[in-house]
Amino acid sequence: MTIAISILHLISCLFLIVVILFQSGKRSGLSGAIAGGADTFMTKTKAKTWDAKLAKMTKWVALVFVALTLALNFI
């Protein structure tokens, strides 16, 4: 049982690393601070972008990772 959970833990760890590295940076830098956040079509449809899907996936994979970590700790 411990070996199976350890393998799942390793897979979730690697998947979490990949998902985080695929995300783009959230900072807009100095140019975004000067220009301000313009309300464009791209900001309105942000929930459907690849970055939004990756952010949602990061939350779920991190939750699985924490649950597996706790399970391995208690076993």
Give residue-wise pLDDT tens across range 38-49: 555 555 566 678
Residue 37: the pLDDT is 54
Q: What does the pLDDT read at residue 24?
A: 82
Look at residue 23 and give its three-state secondary structure.
coil
Query: Amino acid identity, residue 29?
Result: G
> Amino acid letter at 50?
W
Tokens matching residue 17: 């690393």
pLDDT at 43: 57
pLDDT value for 71: 94
Q: Radius of gyration of the chain from Cα atoms?
A: 18
Low-confidence ranges of the chain (pLDDT < 50): none
Instruction: State residue 59's pLDDT score.
Output: 95
